[in-house]
Amino acid sequence: MCGIVGYTGPQSAATPLIEGLRRLEYRGYDSAGIALGTSNKLFVEKRAGKLANLESALGQVPEVHSGIGHTRWATHGGPTDRNAHPHLDNEQKLAVIHNGIIENYSELKAELQSAGHTFHSETDTESVAHLLSDLRKKHGGDLTAAMREAVKRLRGSFTLLAVHADTPDLIVGVRRNSPLVVGLGDGENFMASDVAAFIEYTKRAVELGQDEIVTITPNSISITDLSGKEITPREYQITWDAAAAQKGGFTHFMLKEIFEQPKAVADTLIGRLIKEVIALDELKLSEAELKGLQKIVVIACGTAFHAGLVAKYAIEKWAKIPVEVELASEFRYRDPLIDKNTLVIAISQSGETMDTLMALRHAKEHGAKVLAVCNTNSSTIPRESDAVIYTHAGPEIAVASTKALLTQIVATYLIGLYLGQVRGELASAEVKDIYNQMLELPAKLEQILETVEPLRELTRKFADQNTVLFLGRHVGFPIALEGALKLKELAYIHAEGFAGGELKHGPIALIEAGTPVIAIVPNTHEHGLDEKMLSNIQEVKARGANVIAIASEGIEILGATHVIRIPSTSQLLQPVLAAVPLQVFAYEMAVARGTDVDQPRNLAKSVTVE
């Protein structure tokens, strides 16, 4: 939530700042603003609304070489010009931008107001600008020392960047429970919430730990802890290229990311079976620890939670360990029955979701080991976990998750296979067989995407509907939930996902003539699953529903008005294929209804507040 970028170097700073904000706009788009460090005074412009509003307001920008920029997802104070960042001190010489929440801001504000500071916004952030201003004076103009002391006074989660007109080419940043990375250029340096902001200029990045203060100038970087002790920068190479963070000819990032799914799944799977053994080299837990596991708890939010629900079926089947799946935002309020024999799997695309991070810490406090499934290198969640399996989806820019879901499901399948093998529940031949079926998924995804046009055309016929229901059984149930989430967030349509068996316990009352119902038909006859789902189709059809069935090739479907075919695979792997038509359905509905596909209202990609 909120995107932050800082630049110092030879370029006219407005260019990398605006470009960086464009790449970070997925993090929040309620307002945008920049502060440029000219000597003696700052140039500041900020506007409510999207980055485009700021760009049209900017006009002639001074040719200066450092500055900070912000794109906001509002928490304290509505999305207005006044509440937009940067926020300034009384002299208008010090500017601050912020991602997160300063929990004790009202206490600080009262103290600063009685010391003569005048506030102009309703934000929590402005108190930091005034506080830093006083502390900078106390420290003889040393902004880094001021930041070090300020941070000790702050409670909550934050990434902060500050610049002062008297030292215009110097930018100071800090992070606590919120992301910040440094980009190392040639005679220029960057800071940002995400490497996407500066990937066009450099692939060298430095990760920052909790409460580390970083100061950059064009030719230097210095990191210290809160006591002022120097910390050696931990440099890493960014593996994504600039093109991965651009639309590449697609009308929306979401559509591009839907079409990237075959590659994302293939990249996540590649090289994971070596000599008949699943190889998870990032899994640093000993075999003894894995054999002693008595329970797995998956914690995640939103789409990642749905991946966790799918994982439960696979891991329980293959590894014979009980799996609970918990919303991270609820898990931390419980006294969970977990201990050192529990493995907690934290699933997160961004690796920064605050609810998941807090749940992870709660699990560790209770003695559990944590394994992260994550897409973002060196982000907070994997850093704080005992082990990590990275999904290789590449950057996901659209707010609505697509390739993250598929790669998360695939990564948890690998965990299930590995645990099954280590615990002696699966023979090598079985593992090899399932892994080989997984290797066929990318080609099957290609097949779905090559034949997606009729579905897009069909979807447009439903554009004026206000309710859509999704039904699934077994692993189809989490996919029904995901289909409904996609439609809500993208097309602002009331959508709900139900387990087919629950229909008769209440939801069937929602069906009236013409209600669209999307039914995911299982791939298996085991437990009579397919027949039961076909009965559900008949039940809703009898009450007037307009049924779209998502079904594997070769299964006869009676009662559905439309049938969307997906290639056949085993039942447990079906979610990887069945999710795709639902993503396309939601995408096309959003386009037809004219909503903002990549940046839906009220949302942000990386949810770094609780």
Q: What is the binding site for ligand AGP (CB under 6 A)?
A: 301-304, 348-350, 353, 356, 399-401, 404, 489, 606-607
**Cα(320)–Cα(425) distance, integer angstroms:** 7
Q: Cβ-closest residue to ligand AGP?
A: 302
Helix, coil or strand: residue 540:
helix
Cα dihedral: 90, 93, 94, 95 (round 10): 100
Nearer to ligand AGP by Cβ, of 224 and 350: the residue is 350
Q: Which residue has 């139900």 as its token pair?
A: 498
Q: What does the alpha-carbon distance between residue 40 and residue 16 come to, in Å, rounded to a whole number?
A: 22
Least separation in angstroms between residue 554's CB and ligand AGP is 31
Find the shortest distance in angstroms from Cβ 302 to ligand AGP.
2
With beta carbons less than 8 A apart as the criterion, state whether 237 and 181 touch.
no
The residues annotated as belonging to the active site are 2, 605
For residue 203, give both structure tokens. Answer: 């692939």
Cβ(127)–Cβ(98) below 8 Å: no
Q: Report which of 335, 380, 386 is spatially closest to residue 354, judged by C-alpha positions.
A: 380
Q: Which is nearer to ligand AGP, 26 or 190 (CB)?
A: 26
Least Cβ distance, residue 168 to ligand AGP (angstroms): 35
Residue with tokens 């049209």: 56
Give 134 or 355: the residue with its C-beta nearer to ligand AGP.
355
Q: Least separation, in Å, of the C-beta of 304 and ligand AGP? A: 4
- 197's enclosing H/E stretch is none
CB-nearer residue toward ligand AGP: 348 or 569: 348
Nearer to ligand AGP by C-beta: 126 or 396?
Answer: 396
8 Å CB contact between 441 and 254: no
Q: In the complex with ligand AGP, which residue's Cβ is closer, 349 or 571?
A: 349
Burial level of 551, CB count in 10 A (0-12/13-18/19+)?
Answer: buried
SS3 content of the chain, % helix, strand, coil (to 5): 40, 25, 35
* Least Å from the CB of residue 399 to ligand AGP: 6
Q: How far apart are CB 376 and ligand AGP at their closest, in Å?
A: 8
Pairing of strands 204-207, 181-184: antiparallel
- Does residue 418 sit in helix, strand or coil? helix
Tell me the C-alpha to C-alpha distance, in Å, between residue 248 and each of 210, 252, 259, 277, 590.
Answer: 35, 9, 11, 37, 20
Q: In whole angstroms, how close is the CB of 305 to ligand AGP at the nearest point? A: 7
Distance in Å, CB of 30 to ligand AGP, minimum: 17
Residue whose CB is less far from ligand AGP, 314 or 360? 360
Token pair for residue 51? 């980055």
State the amino acid at position 290 in one-letter form.
L
- Are 609 and 103 in contact by the 8 Å Cβ rule? The answer is no
The residue (of 484 and 573) whose beta carbon lies closer to ligand AGP is 484
The amino acid present at 585, given as its one-letter code, is: F
**Helix residue ranges, H only, 440-496:** 441-450, 453-460, 476-491
Longest dimension (CA), the chain: 79
